[in-house]
Chain A
């Protein structure tokens, strides 16, 4: 059996006392695009940070290409990160560098290539996201959707084995949304990489992914292909997919009884 690109094995993680992930296990093979869904604060972004080694699991193992990320020392961790590409929620472009220089950044920092090859690679990556025409612009001259596509070109500059997407669809207009979804799928297939997409966007992601993992309160409550997920009877999954306001995920945050807080109980007593 080939080594999975990313593997979570019984991973637990806590910020201080509060446990964010409990016994999370799943694998992502090369060529697969997996969506990780769940409400805000369900531990999705933590999951990405565990893969990147910015956080270490409390117990269990996170493996990237067979290497246990939690056990790596500083230099081995930086070496492992060469296999990763990450698209941040708002792009995280370097605001003092032009679009061209942003995409060239990982090439210049990590490889010592002749300038002509750097130039070719940058133009190829920008062409792949459709923004070769924006090469000389500064990040503050781009729209949100364009900034994210430039960030995507930068993330794939070194043809990573694993692509991580942190909320790639947030705050995009319908056209940019479609473009981003299409790019995620196409780039994954072209590079033969594995992609993990952390998202809330049900419609857009179900259209492009191979597998979905649902997280709630740090536990995987459901997983399967988009069709299986759509047909699921689990109340949580149904609530999420149909965007119902109340259900297993309550509308109200747990609180003291309403009447009591308004002082009504006292009056009656």
Chain B
């Protein structure tokens, strides 16, 4: 009977302990990455290559999505604001939503699916084809040579992409608000300028995107490195990167927003 109860609880607790174990491994992995980051920073060309793959190649999807999200925000916002005679505040609405929230969050979700999955797949396949082992046997540390540059490439790209998302979104809002709906361009921009606080709004948005960048990059490189060296293993790891990153982004967003904007 006692045996049965022990078995029952260990079965119930297993997913939890597994998750905790993985979190522990990921934390130790982060420490290992930080310890071996000298190469990535001194030989910055290695990191630049990763910024190209993770960041520059994500520009198109980020820019187009940003533009459309900004346009939709303007259309929806105008419809509501005009009822209260506040249509001239459309610029504030669009810009605030974007720099505080949508730029970092939607940008990060897109970044996780576009770049995070690619990073996981690349590292996972390098492991499956013994390229990482080969590196190790050549006395080259794969964490320093492969993982750390990818990590920093992601961390550096994320805030820049989030900023680009917001900028394109604001431009989309301008096209709809000023060009299509005929709002006054002067009041659209000047109200936006006076209502948005650099530290409170813009900087907090940047801080958010830095946190998201660290989270996505860590999850992506960790899942790749931890993937079983089989076709199934790599595909599972790629999926986990996207799912885990998305959940972590949204969870972190709640936390960060609670800290940043309480009482405002």
Contact = CB atoms under 8 A, between A and B. Distances in A.
Whether A and B are associated in the same complex: the answer reads: yes
A90 B129 contact: yes
Contact of A81 (B129, B130, B131, B137): B137
Contact of A90 (B130, B136, B137, B138): B130
A92 B139 contact: no
Contact of B131 (A54, A89, A95, A109): A95
Nearest to B53: A96
Interface in B123-172: 129-131, 133-134, 136-141, 145
A92 B131 contact: yes
Question: Of B131, B136, B139, which is in contact with the most chain A CB atoms at under 10 Å from its CB?
Answer: B139
A181 interface: no
A54 B137 CA distance: 8
A106 B138 contact: yes
Contact of B141 (A78, A88, A92, A151): A78
B133 A81 contact: no
Contact of B133 (A92, A93, A110): A92
A42 to B, nearest CB: 20
Interface residue tally on B, bucketed by range: 10 to 19
Contact of A94 (B131, B136, B137, B141): B131
A5 to B, nearest CB: 16
A88 B133 contact: yes
Interface in B10-26: none
A50 interface: no
A89 B140 CA distance: 19
B137 to A, nearest CB: 4
B140 A106 contact: yes
A245 to B, nearest CB: 29
Interface residues of A, number: 23
A82 to B, nearest CB: 5
Nearest to B132: A92
Interface string A19-38: 00000000000000000000
A79 B139 contact: yes
Contacts of B131: 92-95
A211 B261 CA distance: 74
B139 A95 contact: no
Interface in A160-214: 164
A109 B140 contact: yes
A93 B129 CA distance: 8
Contacts of A106: 138-140
Interface in A43-100: 52, 54, 78-79, 81-82, 84-86, 88-90, 92-95
Contact of A78 (B129, B133, B134, B139): B139
B134 A88 contact: yes
A105 B138 contact: yes
Contact of A52 (B137, B141, B145): B137
A105 B129 CA distance: 17
Contacts of B129: 90, 92, 95
Contacts of A93: 131
A109 B140 CA distance: 7
A88 B135 CA distance: 11
A81 B138 contact: yes
Contact of B130 (A79, A89, A154): A89
Given A88-B130, A92-B130, A81 B136 contact: yes
A52 B139 CA distance: 10
A90 B202 CA distance: 51
Contacts of B130: 88-90, 92
B134 A110 contact: no
B127 to A, nearest CB: 10
B34 to A, nearest CB: 15
B140 A110 contact: yes
Given A90-B129, A92-B129, A95-B129, A81 B139 contact: yes
A78 B145 CA distance: 14
Contacts of A86: 134, 137
Nearest to B139: A81
Nearest to B125: A95
Nearest to A88: B130
14 contacts: A81-B136, A81-B137, A85-B137, A88-B133, A90-B129, A92-B129, A92-B130, A92-B134, A94-B131, A95-B129, A105-B138, A105-B140, A106-B139, A164-B137
Interface of B: 129-131, 133-134, 136-141, 145
Given A78-B141, A93-B131, 4 more contacts: A54-B136, A95-B129, A109-B138, A151-B134
Interface of A: 52, 54, 78-79, 81-82, 84-86, 88-90, 92-95, 105-106, 109-110, 151, 154, 164
